[in-house]
A and B are shown apart, each in its own frame.
Chain A
């Protein structure tokens, strides 16, 4: 085995970017992902071979790249993708976690799932078909979930003679539409996933396109939403009281800093109690820290014995506080089998906080085809809408656009225990 030089120093700088890809099998999504995996060596030879063997193909060139990505037996039998699959690949600059989502309308819930953690999205458009209703639906959902960067890969350019006019028309229509959906950063790239044009390698067939390839684009996107510069939010996961002979009085608050930063000596406020204290220490296995920032998982100790338990939140005294209300208006994607109706009760989980909620009003539903707001008395599986929730006790939240962690919540059916709703605090 010849060993390629591995750059340990460069590797210490590697950042993580979370991606979501949406589009249907017909748009060539699986082929594109297969292409990315093969071109970045994210797929191994024996995995390729397993696919080749099954298809009876003679060589890697004949491998149906889509077969690499359909993980379940039922999917391969039916030739469809049922569930979100997670893929991993890396370049010398960056590691990528890609949520690969099926594009069928009935599987909107998968797309919301995949998009919820993504910093960037790739939407596939078949150059022959142009912008389809489902393309707009996808862009709408990405805007709703506030995915920072949206990349539109106009695929199958080889099948339209690499014609710039076809590409330009699609881009013009999408720019206009996405601008109205709250998509901040739209990037368009003409590609052929099958031939590899503009995926990892610059296309020789589209001299009119001077922009970056898909892979170069992915490497150059800003990966984090600068969450360390937002107000400090520390939802308490656990109170650590070891009560061992060497730590009889230790009381550490464990959690993940979901936004902002904190240093020893900073004044903090515990919510909901409103009690104040200052940070005594920031503890970690690797030694005490002077300061810590999002998204680190740490343990904090305070200088005063104040009552704090799981589900409470620590914020900084000198920064804006989250709203603490018994009512909240949310954008909702309904993913439960049973429809949501007014007066129904659910359990909400937001950060580490769980509480009972009641649907006080369905403000509107979004027609998934026209994206118009319509009035309704129920939200069914895969419906999107705006809803008002009444909370059992005050919940501390920011708007989703301001803070993805404290502005997001899931609804749980108390009888089935299933996750039935994805909710984002409106406004901001």
Chain B
């Protein structure tokens, strides 16, 4: 009966991706002792969190959210984070590398790589160790960057949280091997097979709330080379000589730290307009992230423990 009625029914590709991500999350919760979900407040995190709510419905999330805060996020991101987490009743852990922050770590004086290494990578490793987590979900996608194209869904990390790209476990079918030794942990990427376009289409389909910075608005910006860098009063001493903030109709394709995240000129004020813009984009979203511009930078960062 039901069989015949349903024959030939198919899921759209977004529904297929959704089902795959939910399957991955449930496997982790079933097989790991103490998982946590990294939450960066960006669009990918927002999709990942939405999928987690679906995966465990009607129960509350069976893990906490972990925000590794550099202190340099946009004010809109902190506001959004606190409101949204409260609204859905999730547990949020915020971790900051206080030692580096106290030393005044910043990208201008110490360089982008060092600042990222201290505030993001070291901060993340500290937080994971402090929580004793054996599995951490991250929102990274394989289409973002070429070293990420070779990342597994279950990425095994040694005691130092490091990635060995030449020694990865083969992943066959959708059977995930979650067995690890004491001290090892796993980074899990439920959005591995999602593209930037899928993320936007899914946000549209599911009406997922996102930080307003993704929508175009007149904003104070500093032009640095080809990049548009958002300007806040707190950054006055980060300005280079001759730079003056001006109002620009713009939005963000990705959200990171204020000093290192560029905006793009855009008139896209609705999710439909963002999708249209993403469909026409000829340059990757990572282009607006200053950290990615070294020669092997993402691969190097991942080897050191970044997710």
Q: Residues of A with Cβ closer than 8 Å to B?
A: 1-6, 8, 11-16, 41, 44-47, 54, 68-74, 82-88, 90, 94-95, 97, 109-110, 112-113, 116-117, 223-224, 226, 228-229, 237-238, 240-242, 244, 247, 250, 252, 254-256, 260-263, 266, 283-286, 291, 293, 295-297, 299, 310, 335, 347, 349-352, 404-405, 408-410, 412, 417-419, 422
Interface digits, B262-276 against A, CB 8 Å rule (1 contact, 0 not)? Answer: 000010000010011
CA distance A312 to B55 in the complex (A): 19
With A224-B10, A261-B2 as contacts: A87 and B30 at CB distance below 8 Å: no
8 new A-B pairs (CB below 8 Å) besides A44-B281, A284-B54?
Answer: A8-B275, A15-B12, A44-B287, A46-B283, A83-B168, A113-B171, A295-B19, A422-B172
Contacts A238-B26, A285-B57 given: A296-B19 contact, CB under 8 Å?
yes
Residues of B within 8 A of A87 (CB): 143, 149
Q: Evaluate contact between A297 and B58: CB separation under 8 angstroms.
A: no
Interface residues in chain B, defined as those with a beta carbon under 8 Å from any beta carbon in chain A: 1-3, 5-20, 22-23, 26-27, 29-30, 53-60, 142-143, 146-150, 165-166, 168-175, 177, 179-181, 192-193, 195, 197-198, 201, 266, 272, 275-277, 279-284, 286-287, 295-296, 299
Residues of B within 8 A of A41 (CB): 282
Q: List 22 A-B contacts (CB under 8 A).
A: A3-B276, A4-B279, A14-B14, A16-B17, A71-B299, A82-B166, A84-B150, A85-B150, A88-B193, A224-B10, A240-B58, A242-B59, A261-B2, A261-B6, A284-B57, A291-B6, A295-B19, A296-B15, A297-B23, A405-B174, A417-B177, A419-B177
A6–B6 Cα distance when bound, in Å, is 30
Q: Are A13 and B60 in contact (CB under 8 A)?
A: no
Q: Are B2 and A266 in contact (CB under 8 A)?
A: yes
Q: Are B58 and A254 closer than 8 Å at their CB atoms?
A: no
| B175 and A350 form a contact (CB under 8 A) | yes
Q: Which residue of A lies closest to B54 (CB)?
A: A285
Beta-carbon nearest neighbor of B141 in chain A:
A88
Report A201 CB to chain B, min CB distance, Å: 20
Question: Given the complex, which residues of A lie within 8 Å of B299, measured CB to CB?
Answer: 71-73
Closest to A13 in B: B12
Tell me whether A86 and B142 are in contact (CB under 8 A).
yes
Most chain B beta-carbon contacts within 10 A, residue among A82, A116, A297, A408? A297
Which of B13, B58, B147, B272 is the one whose CB lies under 8 Å from A252?
B58
Q: How far is the CA of A261 from the CA of B7 in the complex (A)?
A: 9
The answer, among B17, B168, B276, B296, for a CB contact under 8 Å with A6, is: B276
Q: Which of B6, B26, B173 contacts A293 (CB 8 A)?
A: B6
B9 near A293: Cβ-Cβ < 8 Å = yes
Contact B26 A297 (CB under 8 A): yes
Kindly list chain B residues whose C-beta atoms are within 8 Å of the C-beta of A286. Answer: 54
User: How many angstroms from the CA of A224 to the CA of B11 in the assembled complex?
Assistant: 10
Of B58, B181, B193, which contacts A97 at CB under 8 A? B193
Please name all residues of chain B whose beta carbon is closer than 8 Å to the beta carbon of A408 when the two chains form the complex: 172-173, 175
Q: Is A412 a contact of B177 with CB atoms below 8 Å? A: yes
Contact B7 A226 (CB under 8 A): yes
Distance of A68 Cα from B286 Cα, bound (Å): 16
A349 touches B16 (CB 8 A): no
In contact, B6 and A88 (Cβ under 8 angstroms): no
Name which residue of chain A comes closest to B13, CB basis. A16
Q: Select from chain B the residue with minimum beta-carbon distance to A413.
A: B179
A71 vs B149: C-alpha distance in the bound complex, in angstroms? 7
Residues of B within 8 A of A241 (CB): 59
